[in-house]
Homo-oligomer: A and B are copies of this chain.
């Protein structure tokens, strides 16, 4: 089975290609009777859509959501909620020159190997455009989590080698790179603009904090909460790594340093990042992901064509020189999907109707 489904009890299925008719999502397992305004979902879409600033792709997609099913008189009915986002600014002809060659860093080669054919228009299904459907679904999960008192916040902590030195939560949505340090943000933007000028790109590190989670979420053995979050994050195209709490630094700590002691007020520290034994502790869940530099660059690159002959390729198009700012709402959406799913799994285990 193809991997277009995600979740167990709060389950989504996405569809659609970058330059096809539309992308969209079915959300199954939505709690019935919840008031959900289109505007609430649209607001999350607007955070992800292209064309927001000088550091994002100039493609014009309004990402206007269409709720096709699953609501009645403004409330969820418990039946599948389908949301469709029609593509509007398609330029499939822009990809004619790449239809016979494999762009380095792109899924062109691997899709061709897997399927024996591929929709080469803007990477087809492999495009980051598929994440628009995730953000729509994530907004529905976010709504349900709000009622549980859970909030999910992501932001850049490093871009192009420039690190944030302070954590200023208020500033995050006010700068074009969604960094948590306004001064670092200014330098990051400068760097991205310079790289874009050269036709090159850069990556970064995005951190996510989840607050208000009940203790006891997550399943033992394979479906640990951190395991499911890791899968969710690595399922985002440009992500190359994830770490929880102290993460890779934990490998250099002693047990006596890393263990989180407890006192009568709860955990004294949070080296674990809010998850122990795969189950939430009730403290903030904290993880970071590594985002690779965007593969689409206009610098000439060596590659081969469909016949296996060597050639040089330049990816001219409308691309993001750094995807970190737009990956932030996707990270939040995926985290929301995992969390609401695990709340519903815990409800299933307890079995109260």
Collect the chain B residues with CB atoms within 8 Å of residue A294's CB: 255
Collect the chain B residues with CB atoms within 8 Å of residue A121's CB: 72
- Asked whether B222 lies within 8 Å of A235 as measured between CB atoms, the reply is yes
**Which of A39-47, A169-177, A182-190, A223-231 binds B?**
A223-231
- Asked whether B216 lies within 8 Å of A261 as measured between CB atoms, the reply is no
A138 at interface, CB cutoff 8 A:
no
- Asked whether B234 lies within 8 Å of A227 as measured between CB atoms, the reply is yes
Which one of B10, B231, B248, B277 lies within 8 Å of A126 (CB-CB)?
B277
Which one of B104, B110, B201 lies within 8 Å of A261 (CB-CB)?
B104
Q: Nearest B residue to A7 by beta-carbon distance?
A: B1
Which one of B28, B242, B268 lies within 8 Å of A4 (CB-CB)?
B28
- Asked whether A251 lies within 8 Å of B24 as measured between CB atoms, the reply is no
Q: How far is the CA of A13 from the CA of B123 in the complex (A)?
A: 24
Chain B CB within 10 A, most for which of A109, A114, A202:
A114
Whether A295 contacts B259 in the complex (CB less than 8 A), given A231-B228, A244-B240, comes out as: yes
- Asked whether B80 lies within 8 Å of A248 as measured between CB atoms, the reply is no
- Asked whether B1 lies within 8 Å of A353 as measured between CB atoms, the reply is no
Provide 18 A-B residue pairs closer than 8 Å at the C-beta atoms, listed in order of the A residue: A4-B28, A4-B79, A4-B219, A5-B5, A5-B28, A9-B348, A15-B79, A15-B81, A22-B82, A23-B69, A77-B124, A104-B261, A105-B260, A109-B262, A113-B279, A230-B233, A241-B243, A256-B297
- Asked whether B280 lies within 8 Å of A110 as measured between CB atoms, the reply is yes
Lowest 3 A-B CB distances belong to which pairs?
Answer: A3-B223, A107-B277, A3-B219
Whether A118 contacts B231 in the complex (CB less than 8 A), given A268-B302, A310-B263, comes out as: no
Instruction: Tell me the minimal C-beta distance from A242 to chain B in angstroms.
Output: 6
Which one of B13, B23, B250, B350 lies within 8 Å of A28 (CB-CB)?
B13
A61 at interface, CB cutoff 8 A:
no
Collect the chain B residues with CB atoms within 8 Å of residue A251's CB: 158, 203-205, 240, 290-292
Instruction: Tell me the minimal C-beta distance from A247 to chain B in angstroms.
Output: 4
- Asked whether B348 lies within 8 Å of A15 as measured between CB atoms, the reply is no
- Asked whether A258 lies within 8 Å of B290 as measured between CB atoms, the reply is no
Whether A2 contacts B79 in the complex (CB less than 8 A), given A21-B68, A72-B117, A343-B351, comes out as: yes
Collect the chain B residues with CB atoms within 8 Å of residue A224's CB: 3, 234-235
Whether A348 contacts B1 in the complex (CB less than 8 A), given A69-B21, A77-B115, A231-B230, comes out as: yes
- Asked whether A254 lies within 8 Å of B195 as measured between CB atoms, the reply is yes
Chain A positions 118-134 with a Cβ under 8 Å from a chain B Cβ: 118-119, 121, 123-126, 130
- Asked whether A16 lies within 8 Å of B261 as measured between CB atoms, the reply is no
Collect the chain B residues with CB atoms within 8 Å of residue A243's CB: 240-243, 248, 290
Chain B CB within 10 A, most for which of A104, A107, A261:
A104
- Asked whether A261 lies within 8 Å of B301 as measured between CB atoms, the reply is yes
Chain B CB within 10 A, most for which of A6, A125, A204, A299:
A125
Whether A107 contacts B276 in the complex (CB less than 8 A), given A82-B24, A221-B3, comes out as: yes
Chain B CB within 10 A, most for which of A195, A231, A240, A295:
A240
Which one of B244, B248, B297, B346 lies within 8 Å of A248 (CB-CB)?
B248
Which one of B217, B254, B308 lies within 8 Å of A202 (CB-CB)?
B254
Collect the chain B residues with CB atoms within 8 Å of residue A295's CB: 255, 258-259
